Amino acid sequence: MSPAFDARRVNDCVEGCATAHQRLLEIADGLADEAFRAPSTLPGWSRAHVIAHLALNARSHVGLFAAAARGEQGEQYPGGGPARSGAIEEWSTRAPSTLRNDLRRAVYELEGAWAAASADSWQGTGLSPSGAVVPISDLPFLRWRETLVHTVDLDVGVGFDSWPALWVKLELDRQRMMWAASHPMGLTQLPAGANALDDRNRLAWLLGRVDIDGLPRGLGL
């Protein structure tokens, strides 16, 4: 059963993600065409791969909302991981002008899906690429996460210091739970070296975006 719908949390995440969307669109619009083919900070991915992923991720959320509106539990990426990866590769080869439009269309379709969602839809669930059940009410937070982290991955001068305090708090809470769940009893607390970091750098380490001497690799996105 999906957890109780927390309207305030959803509203905060929608507002924060809409702001992050606008920054992302401005960055994509401002990138020279040749800059799309330059490497991102993610191994094996160009900036075009990152933008393609963000557009396809938005579309995948639209599909989950559409399924929830029908009273169904949708799959985020029909066809699973291989279909997702294949789509990212295909979209990443598109002309930059096309990819910019793909991103803008997907972003506004998703924001429209948020606005149109009924109370029943918000109580629904979907399936992640791993098959995990995801509450529909978590999707704005998860999209906010994808947008903020991957905007940094584009390597265009936007850093971890740009991450808003509310999202950092929510994501740190989530990452601490994931860390505890992935470690045996007695090792469920974050290492002392991680706790010595400020919140944004601690989160960047947990998300696998920075390496810290003396600490293992973080869990990643």
Q: Is the dihedral of CA 168, 172, 178, 182 positive or negative?
A: positive
Q: Is 146:57 a contact under the CB 8 Å cutoff?
A: yes
Q: Is the pLDDT of residue 55 over 50?
A: yes
Ranges of each domain in the chain = 7-158, 160-221
- Model pTM score: 0.92
For 129-148, how does the pLDDT look when each residue is reduced to its tens digit (9 = 90+)?
Answer: 888 999 999 999 999 999 99
State the Cα–Cα distance between residues 46 and 88, nearest whole angstrom. Answer: 11
Q: What pLDDT, on the 0 to 100 scale, is given for residue 4?
A: 66
- Residue matched to tokens 């265009």: 156
Q: What pLDDT, on the 0 to 100 scale, is given for residue 186?
A: 53
Average pLDDT over residues 156-181: 91
Q: What number of other Cβ atoms are within 10 A of residue 188's Cβ?
A: 13
Superfamily covering domain 7-158 = dinb family like domain (1.20.120.450)
State the Cα–Cα distance between residues 3 and 137, nearest whole angstrom. Answer: 9
Half-sphere exposure of 70 (CA within 13 A, CB side): 9
